[in-house]
Structure 1
Amino acid sequence: MALSDTGIRKAPHPDKPKKLADGGGLYLLLNPNGSKWWRFKYRYAGKEKLLSLGTYPDTSLADAREKRDAARKQLAAGIDPGAHRKAEKAAGEERAANSFEVVAREWHAKQSKSWVELHASRIMLRLENDIFPWLGTRPIADISAKELLATLNRIVDRGAAESAHRVLQNCGQVFRYAIATGRAERNPAADLRGALPSVKQTHLAAITDPNAIGALLRSIDGYQGSFVTKCALKLAPLLFVRPGELRQAEWTEFDLDKAQWNLPAEKMKMREPHLVPLAPQAVEILRELHALTGRGRYLFPSARSPQRPMSNNAVLSALRRMGYATDEMSGHGFRAMARTVLDEVLHFRPDYIEHQLAHAVRDPNGRAYNRTAHLTERKKMMQAWADYLDGLRAGGKVVAFKSKVS
Structure 2
Amino acid sequence: MGKLTVFHVRAAKNGRHCDGDGLYLMVNGNRARSWVLRIQHQGRRRDIGLGSVDLGRRRQDDPVHAVEILRRKVLTLAEARDKAAILRRLTLAGLDPVAERDREVRRIPTFVQAVDLAHAELSRGWTAKHAADFKSTMLSYAIPTLGSHSVDIIDHAMIRATLAPVWTDKPSTAKKVFTRINQVLAYCHATGLRTQDVPQKQVVRRGLARQSQSQHHPAVPFRQVPLFMHDLLGGTESSGRLALAFAALTASRSGEVRQATWDQIDLDTKIWSKPAHIMKSRRASSIPLSEAALVILRRAAVLRGKSHVVFPGRSGALLNNGALRNSMLAQGWGHATVHGLRSSFRDWAAEEMPAIPAMVAELILSHSVLSQTERAYLRSDLTAMRRTLMEAWAAFIMPQPEKPASGASAPCSGPLTIDR
Alignment-derived partner of residue 286 in structure 1 = 297
Q: Displacement, 1:357?
A: 0.8
Q: Displacement, 1:332?
A: 0.7
Of 175, 180, 184, which aligns to 1:165? 175
Structure 1 runs not aligned, ≥5 long:
1-71, 395-406
Taking the TM superposition and a 5 Å limit, the aligned residue runs for 1:208-227 are 208-210=221-223, 212-224=224-236, 227=238
| Matching of residue 332 in structure 1 with residue 339 in structure 2 | yes
Structure 2 runs not aligned, ≥5 long:
1-28, 37-50, 52-72, 74-102, 403-420
Taking the TM superposition and a 5 Å limit, the aligned residue runs for 1:28-43 are none
Of 171, 187, 190, which aligns to 1:177? 187
**TM-score, with structure 1 as normaliser:** 0.66
Of 250, 259, 266, which aligns to 1:255? 266
Q: Displacement, 1:375?
A: 1.0
Residues 133-188 of structure 1 deviation map (CA, whole Å, 9 limit, x = unaligned): 3323432112233332222223348x323311221122123222222221112234
Distance 1:267 1:371 in 2: 23
Letter in 2 for 1:339: R
| Matching of residue 385 in structure 1 with residue 410 in structure 2 | no
Change (3 A) 1:93 1:215: same
Q: 3-state DSSP class of the match of 1:362?
A: coil
Q: Displacement, 1:265?
A: 1.7
Distance 2:153 2:31 in 1: 27
Taking the TM superposition and a 5 Å limit, the aligned residue runs for 1:80-159 are 94-95=107-108, 98-115=109-126, 117-156=128-167, 159=169
Q: Displacement, 1:287?
A: 2.4
Residues 195-232 of structure 1 deviation map (CA, whole Å, 9 limit, x = unaligned): 3332312211112342x2221111101334x6111111
Change (3 A) 1:284 1:138: same
| Matching of residue 301 in structure 1 with residue 308 in structure 2 | no
Letter in 1 for 2:215: T
Alignment-derived partner of residue 7 in structure 1 = none
Letter in 2 for 1:301: P
Letter in 2 for 1:383: E
Q: Displacement, 1:389?
A: 1.8
CA RMSD of superposed structures (Å): 3.5
Distance 2:305 2:31 in 1: 77
**TM-score, with structure 2 as normaliser:** 0.64
Letter in 2 for 1:250: T
Contact 1:361 1:369 in 2 (8 A): no
Q: Displacement, 1:337?
A: 1.0
| Matching of residue 203 in structure 1 with residue 211 in structure 2 | no
Distance 1:392 1:339 in 2: 22
Distance 1:377 1:147 in 2: 51
